[in-house]
Amino acid sequence: MASSPEEIAKHKKAYKAVGIALLVFTCVTVSLGAFPIFDFGLPGATWEDFVIGLLVATVKASLVALVFMHLNHEKTLVYKFLIFTFCFALSLMALTLFAGWDPIKEAFETVRTNGFPSLKS
């Protein structure tokens, strides 16, 4: 912890800089979703938009965790838990992504649109 006035002033500068960066990244996030000029790929929500949005959110979360939660001065065990949590969250996102390529869903959609082939004569 900071004990001298100079160290406290240094921490205040870091907090202000991170606060301004968070404000800027929040404006970037809003502008990516609100203005069509920042729409990457086809019109509407595409995978490029989601990747850019997740990258901006990752940067913002990293800034909050490192500076405001004081994780930039932690021991290595905390980093091991953070890496495990990140890998777990990434795997959950991958499972959600893989659900779009589910062959059972494709078969269901085919049956729903074409009907059962065994019932047709």
Q: What mean pLDDT is predicted for residues 75-95?
A: 88
User: Is residue 15 located within the same domain as residue 48?
Assistant: yes
* Structural domain count of the chain: 2
Domain residue limits at 110: 77-121
Q: Percentages helix, strand, coil for the chain, rounded to the nearest 5?
A: 80, 0, 20
Residues 24, 4 within the same domain: yes
pLDDT at 44: 73
Q: Are residues 8 and 60 in the same domain?
A: yes
Q: Which two three-digit tokens encode residue 63? A: 């800034």
Same domain, 12 and 48: yes
Q: Report percent pLDDT > 90 for the chain.
A: 24
Tokens of 73: 């001065």
Q: Tell me the mean pLDDT in the region 83-112.
A: 81
State whether 43 and 84 are in the same domain.
no
Q: What is the mean pLDDT of residues 86-113?
A: 79
65 and 87 belong to one structural domain: no
Residue 74, classed as helix, strand or coil, is coil
pLDDT per position as a tens digit, 30-69 = 888 778 777 777 777 778 888 888 899 999 998 998 888 8
Please report, for residues 30, 33, 62, 85, 88, the alpha-carbon distance to residue 92 in angstroms, rounded to integers and kept in the order given: 25, 24, 19, 11, 6
Helix (H/G/I), strand (E/B), else coil: 109? helix
User: Is residue 41 domain-shared with residue 84, that is, in the same domain?
Assistant: no
